[in-house]
Amino acid sequence: MGQTLLLLSQALLVSGAAVASTASYDVPSTPNKVGKPLEGFVSYSIEFSSFPEFAGNPSSPNELSYNLIKNVGSIMGSNPYIRVGGNTQDYALYSASQKEALVGIVDPHRSPDYPTTVKIGPAYFELYNAWPGIKFSHGLNLALGGSSSTGWETLVETVPLVCETLGNGKLYTWEYGNEPDFYSISAQGPVRPSTFDEGTYVSQWLNGTKEIRSQVKKHCPNVAEPKFLAPSFAGRFSEAKTWQAGLNADNGVELFSTHNYISGATSPGVTLQGTLMNFGVTKKSVDAQVSSYNKIFGSTANAAAPPLIFGETNSLYNQGRPGLSNSFGAALWGVNFHLYSASVGIKRVHFHQGTNYRYQAWQPVDTNLVTKGTKAPYYGSVAVAAFLRNSVVQPVSVSNIPLGADQAEAAYAAHFTKSQKLGRILVINMHSYNTTVDGAGLKPLPHVPERPNKTYTFNVGSTVADGQVVQVQRLMANGSDAITGITFDGWSYNWELDAGKPVRLHNVTSGETTVVKGGQVTIRLPDSSAAILSFTNSL
């Protein structure tokens, strides 16, 4: 039923493509100076305790994980970077005699979603060999490393294992501590006194990173001096105060990492339409973190400053909410979040996930809670990768296209930075369209309502010649509440079809084109869908 509805909706789009627009929108004529993402812009963060399940091991890699990561890399032109970290990196203690890669104990009173007692053995570091061609950052334990002898011993003993394993071209960067601004008030149990502040954090961070450098120099002299993701805050500490207190005194901050969640899974008033599928909510959240960065460095275009990245982000903290974070609406939100972030100077985005998490892009293994498979948010990653495609060879700059007061829509332009020409437009219609009872994505409505459409006309002026053919690639599902039946440009990445590799669905429309007429390009877009318009002669 799902694919039949999808086919019908796309067939209507083709037959109705000539419908007139009631409004037109101006596309920027030149590249955005701050909107130049780094390679691997679409990247991932994997919960430290979940990494064994996501990775598999060198003799039996997790096929789904590797295929999905490589899909994004082949489309985008550079592989995603993988940050291994999160809350559980700050619980991890090392045991050299432990045979298992990781042993975790879940205390549901502290957290039902991940273990809060974590032991790792030497086999944990072998997991990094499961995915050839992928670069990783490894999260080191500051919460215990800076406050206990066993934590410090873990730091000393594991740093050599990190540099020995990842030093051969697989090292992305280092991270010491996850969200230290919450150490004194953590819901899982404080690990610092109430007096723990920015200055104390900086002192402990500098002490630990000095030891990391010493261990690398001692055990891996051929590995470059460690550089770090930092400060990895969740919004409670002042990043400016941290910088003023000397965080970068040793010139060790390679990437200025901050964390972002639009809202919380249990926060009052959170809805799909009002919270996630809402341009204004995303803009306000991202702008606040860019403003914090700019107070220190002046601009995200400052080439002398460490690039600003989201080292960890996703829709709703506390691992997401069913019916929201696992829906197609969350995939549309992810497209908007990625591209708005790029347009204001965020250089890389690591979407966080873990086993059984509600906002995950994929579930790596079968459990008693979640079946193995590709989840709705992954398709948002694919669409963003396609918008940036081949960006290492032909880099682009991302601009926001203002669409007026309607907060349930957004559009973006990609200009080639070398030729300055307009290459692509992406438009998202985030008006909700539900086809299931209670919008939970499970039980179909007895009578499916007619799906509204909106026509968007973009003024491209003299930047694109009249008559130019425009390729259309659609991100589609049966509705914003869909959790299955999702495609991008007619491709499915489901585990059940070919282990996550792309499979063309022949009952879904693809190969659609339109043309530029009178300096304008027009597209008709159903509610709860997105599309990329690619100007084929713009290279």
User: Which residues are the active-site residues?
Assistant: 198, 312
Encode 206-242 in three state secondary structure.
HHHHHHHHHHHHHHCCCCCCCCEEEEEECCCCCHHHH
Judged by DSSP in three states, 400 sits in strand
Token pair belonging to 106: 């879940």
Contact 428, 387 (CB under 8 A): no
Within 143-281, strands assigned E span: 171-176, 228-233, 253-264
Token pair belonging to 539: 């290279």
Judged by DSSP in three states, 437 sits in helix
> Rounded to whole angstroms, what are the CA distances from 176 to 139, 146, 171, 201?
6, 10, 15, 11
- Cβ atoms < 10 Å from Cβ of 85: 31
Contact 27, 457 (CB under 8 A): no
Nearest-angstrom CA–CA distance, 498 and 507: 17
Which one-letter amino acid corresponds to residue 488? F
> Rounded to whole angstroms, what are the CA distances from 529 to 12, 411, 494?
14, 12, 19
Q: Return the residue matching tokens 């204001």.
A: 344
For the chain, give the number of residues: 539
Strands 469-476 and 529-535: antiparallel
DSSP codes of every residue in 20-37? PPS-EEEPPSS--TT--P
Judged by DSSP in three states, 156 sits in helix
Judged by DSSP in three states, 67 sits in helix
Token pair belonging to 531: 């599309």
Sheet holding 102-105, edge to edge: 92-94, 117-120, 102-105
Contact 507, 3 (CB under 8 A): yes
Encode 295-324 in three state secondary structure.
HHHCCCCCCCCCCEEEEEEEEEECCCCCCC
User: In 3D, which of 146, 147, 126, 151 has the Cα closest to residue 136?
Assistant: 126
436 forms bridges with which residues in the sheet? Answer: 444
532: region left, alpha or beta (phi > 0 left; psi from -120 to 50 alpha): beta
Contact 349, 309 (CB under 8 A): yes
